[in-house]
Amino acid sequence: MYSTGSTYVQHSGTVLSETAGLSAVHSVEMLQDQAQCILGDFVRARYPRQPTRFGRLLLAIPLLRMIRPATVEAFFFRDTVGDASVIRLLHDMYSSCSHLGEAADGGGKAAVGAAPAHADVATV
């Protein structure tokens, strides 16, 4: 069920603290809560003899906000996407998915699974 801890830590590190430009704040908050629950389950299963580990991880998350986004991009994504901004790539990806969905069903409705045209991605 759990592939790697790093995947869950990366997802749970996505803390909702800047909501400017989001059109689905409630949905994002629910996803954040779900990610924290998954992280908690993983940590408790992986480290059963360290009952305070999950709490310490949650307390460390605000410290991660001190790291500049450019540093995170350079550390985790530079080898994959080069110097492109990850936020810009996500925006372009969601935009192209919504256009593909409109073209696939004749332009009226987005295809199932396609991102909405108003994807909740901050602009650069």
Query: Does residue 60 share a domain with residue 1?
Result: yes
Mean pLDDT of 56-76: 89
Closest by CA to 57, choosing from 69, 41, 72, is 41
- Residue 57 pLDDT exceeds 90: yes
Please give the residue that has the higher pLDDT: either 34 or 119: 34
| Domain end call among 66, 87, 105 | 66
Task: Output 12 or 43, whichever has higher pLDDT.
Answer: 43
Q: Do 38 and 9 have their domain in common?
A: yes
Q: What is the pTM of this model?
A: 0.47
Residues 103 and 46 in one domain: no
54 and 72 co-located in one domain: no
Residue 39 and residue 11 in one domain: yes
Task: Phi first, then psi: give them for residue 28, nearest 5 degrees.
Answer: -65, -40
Q: What is the pLDDT of residue 114?
A: 40
The verdict on 73 and 58 lying in the same domain is no
Instruction: Find the mean pLDDT for residues 102-121.
Output: 46
pLDDT mean over 7-32: 64
Containing structural domain, residue 119: 68-124
> For 15, left (φ over 0), alpha (ψ -120 to 50), or beta?
beta
pLDDT at 17 over 70: no
Mean pLDDT (the chain, rounded): 73
Phi-psi region of 31 (alpha: psi -120 to 50; beta: other; left: phi over 0): alpha
Residues 12 and 72 in one domain: no
Q: Which of 66, 84, 109 is the last residue in one of the domains?
A: 66
Confidence label for 92 from pLDDT (cuts 50, 70 and 90): confident
Q: Are residues 91 and 60 in the same domain?
A: no
The residue with tokens 């305070």 is 52
* 21 & 45 share domain: yes
Q: Of 34, 66, 98, which residue is a domain's last? A: 66
CA atoms within 13 A on the CB side of 71: 5
